[in-house]
Amino acid sequence: MFPVARAALSLTARGVQRTAVRQAHRKHEPNFHDQYGNLVLLGGAAVFAAVWGYVFTSAGIEWGLSPVGRVTPKEWRE
């Protein structure tokens, strides 16, 4: 490995180690996801269900997918 690349990797590794040590010793402060994560998830699920519910009910889709009784054979033309 080239000396310059080796030095860059060791500097990067040292920076990562310092950051990890610094974060390990500080108090955990609640961030946005800790405070509102579940609420945002439930809100998104509710909007998703409402939109798709509206689409399915207003689209006029017939849910009887079976062709039994609807398909009638045509007469053969000879």
Q: Where do the domains of the chain lie?
A: 1-49
Dist. CA 67–CA 65, nearest whole Å: 6
69 backbone φψ class: left, alpha, beta (φ>0; ψ -120 to 50): left
- pTM reported for the whole predicted model: 0.43
* 8 three-class SS: helix
Q: How far apart are CA 67 and CA 76, in angstroms?
A: 21
The pLDDT assigned to 45 comes to 97
pLDDT score of 64: 67
Q: Tens-of-pLDDT digits for all 78 residues of the chain?
A: 566 666 655 656 666 667 666 666 667 788 888 889 999 999 999 999 999 999 888 877 666 667 677 777 778 877
